[in-house]
Amino acid sequence: MIISHERYQQIKNLAKNCFKFFNTRNPLEVFQKLYIPYSLINIEGDLKGFTHINEKGEPWVYINKKYDYYSMKIIAAHELGHIVLHNSDTLNMFEDDGVSSETEYEANIFLMEFMPQTQPHTKNYMELSPTALKNYICNKIY
Ligand SMILES: [Zn+2]
């Protein structure tokens, strides 16, 4: 585990509070309730989604619409994680081949906690390395 136990608990609590406050596990509904604009757009290649933050600090989420609705929710939950956890970053890419950085790992933890139905049934996802977790999630996106 490359993040501290405290940080993990913090991400877990943020995801839980997000669910409690908005009363949905659909991240696209959370975007609507937060007035965060999002666009489902055609993107060539493996890029799944990204969040652009303008100079005023306002996010705009882009999701590749070549994937099915469940997959787009997974991508959106990852991007919601970035918005909640890393709101100072200007651009976050969710790519197949990207380096498994700490922020990517944290956004994936947020996704696992916000959409528990995506968690593996047979083992605790925290036992997976950041790269293994990313590969596990990518395999759920069609
Ligand atoms: Zn990301």
83 Cα: distance to centroid of ligand 1 (angstroms): 10
Answer whether residue 71 shows pLDDT above 50.
Answer: yes
Query: Tokens representing 136?
Result: 């596990």
Across the range 19-41, mean pLDDT stands at 97
Q: Does CATH number 1.10.10 belong to domain 5-138?
A: yes
For 42-70, what is each residue's pLDDT tens digit?
Answer: 998 889 999 988 888 889 999 999 999 99
d(CA 65, CA 56): 27
Answer whether residue 99 shows pLDDT above 50.
Answer: no
* Residue scoring higher pLDDT (52 or 90): 52
Domain boundaries, the chain: 5-138
45 Cα: distance to centroid of ligand 1 (angstroms): 16
50 Cα: distance to centroid of ligand 1 (angstroms): 7
